[in-house]
Structure formats: C-alpha cells, structure tokens
C-alpha cells in the first residue's frame, strides 16, 4: 500500500512538469508550457551538455524540469522492464 502511495505521489509530481498532448510535438512528452520534449533534454545530456548549459540555452527551463524529464524517462524504462519480463 505504501509503495502505491509513493508511486501516485511520484507520478503527480512528474505531471506537474510533463504533459502529453497529441497537438504538440506529435504527442511526445514535453515540458509543460513549452515545445521542449523529454527526449530533447535526454539527448542534450547524452551529448555532454551540462544542466547549466541547457538552462543557459533554454531560459524557460528550470533544474526541476530537467530532473522531471530524467524521472519520467527512468519511470518509463522501469515500466518497459516490467512488461518485458
């Protein structure tokens, strides 16, 4: 029961920053109020950009947005592992 409550709280926190709208970026998960996709942030980080560089290049983003994108991706990865098992 406690794990379910933590999961629901976790998803509510992510939902404060991430939205999925079929009219924006073909339904890719994006940072709310922007057209910046979660995958964009992941690609920037993977290419070696620091959080500070991303925040400097995209002033509409905050550190919380970057952390929410990472959390969203990690959660999605764990769901894929559960389905594949």
List the domain boundaries for the chain. 2-78
Q: Using 50, 70 and 90 to split pLDDT, how confident is the model at 8?
A: low
More confident residue, 84 or 59: 59
- Give mean pLDDT, residues 28-54: 97
Tell me how far apart the alpha carbons of residues 34 and 24 are, in angstroms, rounded to a whole number.
9
Per-residue confidence band for 14, with pLDDT thresholds at 50, 70 and 90 = confident
Sequence-separated (6 or more) residues with CB below 8 Å from residue 13: 68, 71
Question: What does the DSSP assignment read for 32-52?
Answer: TTSS-BHHHHHHHHHTT--HH
Written as six digits, the tokens of 72 are 């969203």
Question: Under CATH, to which class is 2-78 assigned?
Answer: mainly alpha
Q: Kindly report the average pLDDT of the chain as a whole number.
A: 86
């Amino acid at each position: 029961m406690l794990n379910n409550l933590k999961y629901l709280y976790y998803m509510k926190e992510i939902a404060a920053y991430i939205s999925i709208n079929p009219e924006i970026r073909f339904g890719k998960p994006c940072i709310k109020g922007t057209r910046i996709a979660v995958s964009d942030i992941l690609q920037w980080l993977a290419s070696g950009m620091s959080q500070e560089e991303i925040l400097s290049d995209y002033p509409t983003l905050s550190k919380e947005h970057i952390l929410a994108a990472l959390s969203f991706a990690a959660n999605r990865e764990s769901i894929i592992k559960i389905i594949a098992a």
